[in-house]
Chain A
Amino acid sequence: MRVTENGMATNYLTNMNQARQKIMDLQSQLASGKRVQKPSDDPIATGTIMRLQTALSQNAQYSANIDAGKGIADSTSGALGSLSDVLMSLKETVITSMNGSTVGSLSTNADSVDQFLSEAVDIANTSFNGKYIFGGTQTTEIPYTLSADGTTVTKNPKGVDGTISFPVGDGINQQVNITGEEAFQGTGIFDTMIQIRDAMKNGIPPTADQLNAVDQGLNHILECAGNAGLVSQGFDTMASNLAQQKTQLTEFLSTAQDADVAESSLQLQNDQTMLTAAIQVAAQSLPKTLLDFLR
């Protein structure tokens, strides 16, 4: 093959351009710390990266949902725990009153029951984060109202039975509230308390049926509090799963996206050495022709 100066020059330029291009790519990878900066750097990895980024932001969103849900579940179980304390005291009062109390002591005990009633209604109106937790989906309106004369407890006429769910995973919604309807059996628990109080005021000791009703109400509240506790525990498990998942996703993302600094630096050094060599060779060989020796 005939070799000409023009051919050598073109060859040299092409090679040098390629070397420079490589060095530029590596430099920008090292500067940004990212191997994939544009989709064309690696289309398949880009797909993976975008999927992982979506998964990570969903993960963060689910964590936030779980935090919010746990807040509601915890305050629900806390409120129901306090209510069970109130009902426990009620039960003791009822038992004391059943066992041959005087009319005078019945009246005093009736006052205690009245006190328990207003405490129970207060608990039913617990609000968390500005929302009534036992109001069902009517979170902005007070769920239970004790009439001024203390004779009736009425629930919000719009209902206290709406359930609220938060998304905790793809397509998975977890109910986070216990409705007033469920916890207090409509107004059942308050009605029982009113009946007992009114009877005792009139000097009639509580009946065994009434004690049963209190017992049953207490058990139900304990069960509901337990359920809320379970939901909260479930949230804890989910949160730690999500945290683990997040660590994994972040690791995958880093593998797909980040530049291997050590490898890239080494490669960069290598390419730079090659470029220097090419320039040196060109500087020495390109200008030489026969003319240099025809003096």
Chain B
Amino acid sequence: MSGLNGILNAAKRAMMAQQVGIAVTNHNVSNASTPGYSRQRVNFETAPDEKESFGYLGNGVNVGSIQRLNDTFINQQIWTTNYNLGQATQQGQILNQIQSSLNEPSDTGLGAMITNFFGSFQNLALNPEDSASRNAVVQNTTSMVETFNNLSSNLQQTKQDLTPEIKSRVDQINQLLQQIWQSDQNITTLQAGGLEANDAQDNRDNLIASLSNLTNIHVHQDNQGATSIDIGGTIVESASGYSTLSAADSGGQMQILAQGSPQPVDVNSGELGGILQMVNTTIPKYSGELDTLASTIIAKVNAVQSAGFGLGTPPPTGNDFFTGTDAGTIAINPAITTSANNIAASGDGSPGDNSVALSTAAIANDLSMGGGAETISQFYNGIVTDVGASVQSATNSQQSQNLVLTQLQNQQNSVSGVSTDEEMVNLIQFQKGFDSAAKVITTVNDMFESLLNMLTITG
């Protein structure tokens, strides 16, 4: 359709197209700080031309599409980094709690208590007939035993406190899965006509990002734009629906079960994965080591003590020094708190003999731990350095994952982020375009007027 009307129509389309451009610019600028927003771009294309005798005459502009600028590959990497970071953060926090309850290196930690305990037996050896040195043994033992009990109950408490943390994260995951599924359904409907549902896709990616902080996920996207998500191989969301997860205690191990699937879901990363690892592996390991330490001290000291003699006529013998079996239950034998004279220092009943006090003190130097490789103190030092190294490695991993995340977010920003400068340039461009089209219309209008004037003159 050529002629003045044709130009007018083309100019009208141009004005409308520039308006769309300005609308999208406005949308971009408005959402510059919206988390997860991907900038959009208007793709203009030339309107179908018309064949004239002299050639093909251009017919102006059309809005081809509004495109969302987003890199799915970077998204996938961000999600992976998210769950690694979530795992490291949780583990760092929990290990830090364990580390601070150890209170090392210090002169009030369990390490110093153990040294003092054995030291007090050396002091007893100097004055076995003296009640002051016996009372010192009782005091030092009480301090050590209380520290053992506290550490043990702290670990148990930390573990117990994590159960609601697990539950709340499972709830969050369930909510997110439902929302992602709904968003997915929404997108499939919206895109049925072949148009891109830009903002809906941003919304879904946002939900997936939140999910990726909680657990390790793998996201597949089909050609129609529908997603399916699996956690460690178990499909938890797809076009056909979503699973509901639940946490269950199975023989002391917390497991995550998907509805309708007998196999536990392999949650090995993310905040949930990090917590699970702490609850199922790390805390039981440290409790176990602490228990081994306590039970070795109990067994070794009792064996030596019960064979020795205390102070009195006749000298008491056969008294265990400790009761209990592990770090949680270790306690000083009530018979000894009742009378410190029941502590055995003598090997033959004579009050000045200190051989049993000496052999009790010498347990500190026995290679009784770690299969005959370590003393009690060395074994405990091993636990402390292990906790320290774990905290350090979690912190390091947290820092490096954070760096990776920043890098990836920068990359994502360079693709999807809104640049106000750029938008302003676009705005000016669209405005000028709009102005130019308007000018064309005024010109055509003038031309129409000229024609009409000609008619009037003739009439």
* A46 close to B105 (CB less than 8 A): yes
Indicate if the CB atoms of B377 and A54 lie closer than 8 Å.
yes
A58 and B115 CA atoms in complex are apart in Å by 8
- Inter-chain CA distance A64–B124, complex, in Å, is 12
Q: Which residue of A lies closest to B352 (CB)?
A: A139
Nearest Cβ on chain B to A193's Cβ, whole angstroms: 27
Interface string of B397-416 (1 = CB under 8 A from A): 00000100010011001110
Within 8 A of A (CB), among B346-362: 346, 348, 350-355, 358, 361-362
Contact size range, A: 35 or more
| Contact across chains for A50 and B111 when beta carbons are under 8 A apart | yes
A68 in contact with B126 given A57-B112, A57-B119, A164-B352 (CB within 8 Å)? yes
B385 near A170 with CB under 8 A, answer no
A295 interfacial contact with B, CB 8 Å: no
Interface on chain B toward A: helix, strand, loop, or mixed SS?
helix
User: Which of A3, A138, A170 interacts with B352 by CB under 8 Å?
Assistant: A138
Q: Are A54 and B115 in contact (CB under 8 A)?
A: yes
Contacts of A7 in B (CB 8 A): 409-410, 413-414, 417
Q: How many cross-chain pairs have Cβ atoms below 8 Å apart between A and B?
A: 179
CB atoms of A137 and B350 under 8 A apart: yes
A104 and B102 CA atoms in complex are apart in Å by 83
Number of interface residues of B (CB under 8 A): 64
Spot the interface stretch: B255-263, B273-281, B418-426: B418-426
Contacting pair A170 B365 (CB below 8 A)? yes
A47 at the interface (CB under 8 A from B): yes
In the bound assembly, the distance between CA atoms of A167 and B229 in angstroms comes to: 67
A36 cross-chain contacts in B, Cβ below 8 A: 105
B351 touching A53, Cβ below 8 Å:
no
Binds A, one of B19-27, B317-325, B388-396, B446-454: B388-396
Say whether A162 faces chain B, with CB atoms less than 8 Å apart. yes
A residues within 8 A CB of B104?
38-39, 46, 50
B337 interface residue, CB < 8 Å from A?
no
* 5 contacting pairs across A/B (C-beta < 8 A): A4-B418, A7-B409, A40-B388, A43-B386, A294-B424
Q: Which 7 interchain pairs have the tightest Cβ spacing?
A: A39-B388, A139-B352, A4-B417, A40-B391, A7-B413, A137-B353, A43-B388
The chain B residues found within 8 Å of chain A, CB to CB, are 32-33, 95-96, 99-100, 102, 104-105, 107, 111-112, 115-116, 119, 122-123, 125-127, 129-130, 346, 348, 350-355, 358, 361-362, 365, 377-378, 381-382, 384-392, 395, 402, 406, 409-410, 413-415, 417-422, 424-425, 428
Q: Other than A4-B417, A38-B104, give 16 A-B pairs with Cβ distance below 8 A.
A: A1-B414, A10-B413, A14-B406, A38-B388, A39-B105, A40-B96, A42-B388, A43-B388, A46-B105, A54-B115, A57-B116, A61-B119, A130-B129, A135-B352, A140-B129, A167-B358
Q: Which residues of A contact B (CB under 8 A)?
A: 1-7, 10-11, 14, 36, 38-44, 46-47, 49-51, 53-54, 57-58, 61, 64-65, 68-69, 129-131, 135-140, 158-159, 162, 164-167, 170-171, 173, 257, 289-291, 294
